[in-house]
Structure 1
Amino acid sequence: MARDLLVLIELAPPSLARLEAAGFTLHLALTAQERAQAIRTLGPKVQGVLTNGSTGLAAAEIEALPNLGIICAQGAGYEQIDLPAARARGIQVSHGPGTNDESVADHAMALLMALVRGIVQADAAVRHGLWRQSRQPQPLLSRKNLGILGLGNIGQQIARRGAGGFAMAVAYHSRRPRPDSTLQYFPTPQALAAWADFLIVATPGGAGTLHLVDAAVLQALGPEGYLVNIARGSVVDSSALAQALGQRQIAGAALDVVEGEPEVPSSLLGLDNLILTPHIAGRSPEAVNATLHLVIDNLEAFFAGRPLLTPVPEQVQPG
Structure 2
Amino acid sequence: MESISVLMTWPMSSYLETELEKRFKLLKLWSYPSLADFVKENEYVNSVKAVVGDTRIGADAQLIDSLPGLEIVSTYSVGLDKIDLRKCKQKGIRVTNTPDVLTDDVADLAIGLILAVFRRLCVCDGFVRNGSWKKGDFALTTKFSGKSVGIVGLGRIGSAIAKRAEAFGCKISYLSRTEKPYPNYKYYSNILDLATDCEVLVVACALTEETFHIINRQVIDALGPKGIVINIGRGCHIDESELVSALMEGRLGGAGLDVFEREPEVPEELLGLENVVVLPHVGTDTYETCDAMADLVVQNLEAYFQNKPLLTPVV
> For structure 2, which runs of at least 5 residues remain unmatched after alignment?
none
Q: Describe the shift of the 1:156–1:39 C-alpha distance in structure 2 as closer, same or farther (beyond 3 A).
A: farther
Q: How much identity, in percent, do the aligned residues show?
A: 35
Describe the SS at the equivalent of 1:228.
Answer: strand
Mapped to 2, the partners of 1:307 and 1:3 lie a distance apart of: 19
- 2:166 maps to 163
Q: Describe the shift of the 1:191–1:54 C-alpha distance in structure 2 as closer, same or farther (beyond 3 A).
A: farther
Task: Give the TM-score of the pair, scaled to structure 1.
Answer: 0.91
Deviations 1:260-285 (A, max 9, x none): 21222344333332111111111122
Mapped to 1, the partners of 2:276 and 2:163 lie a distance apart of: 25
Letter in 2 for 1:46: V
Mapped to 2, the partners of 1:189 and 1:30 lie a distance apart of: 40
Aligned residues: 311
Out of 122, 125, 128, the residue aligned to residue 123 of structure 1 is: 125
- 2:156 maps to 153
Mapped to 1, the partners of 2:273 and 2:33 lie a distance apart of: 32
- 1:316 maps to none
Describe the SS at the equivalent of 1:220.
Answer: helix
Give the drift of 1:67.
Answer: 0.8
- 2:238 maps to 236
Q: Describe the shift of the 1:71–1:237 C-alpha distance in structure 2 as closer, same or farther (beyond 3 A).
A: same
Mapped to 1, the partners of 2:32 and 2:270 lie a distance apart of: 24
Deviations 1:248-307 (A, max 9, x none): 111110110101212223443333321111111111222112211111110001111222
Task: Give the TM-score of the pair, scaled to structure 2.
Answer: 0.92
Letter in 2 for 1:92: R
- 2:198 maps to 196
- 2:26 maps to 26
Give the drift of 1:48.
Answer: 0.8
Instruction: Check conservation: 1:226, 1:252, Cα contact below 8 A.
Output: yes
> For structure 1, which runs of at least 5 residues remain unmatched after alignment?
314-319
Describe the SS at the equivalent of 2:157.
Answer: helix
Residues 71-220 of structure 1: matches in 2 within 5 Å? 71-131=73-133, 132=135, 135-164=138-167, 166-180=168-182, 182-220=184-222
Give the drift of 1:84.
Answer: 1.8
Q: Describe the shift of the 1:311–1:138 C-alpha distance in structure 2 as closer, same or farther (beyond 3 A).
A: same
Instruction: Check conservation: 1:239, 1:267, Cα contact below 8 A.
Output: no
Give the drift of 1:111.
Answer: 0.9
Q: Describe the shift of the 1:193–1:133 C-alpha distance in structure 2 as closer, same or farther (beyond 3 A).
A: farther
Mapped to 1, the partners of 2:150 and 2:182 lie a distance apart of: 18
Cα root mean square deviation, aligned:
1.9
- 1:317 maps to none
Instruction: Check conservation: 1:144, 1:169, Cα contact below 8 A.
Output: yes
Residues 32-43 of structure 1: matches in 2 within 5 Å? 33-42=33-42, 43=45
Mapped to 2, the partners of 1:133 and 1:245 lie a distance apart of: 27
Mapped to 2, the partners of 1:32 and 1:175 lie a distance apart of: 42
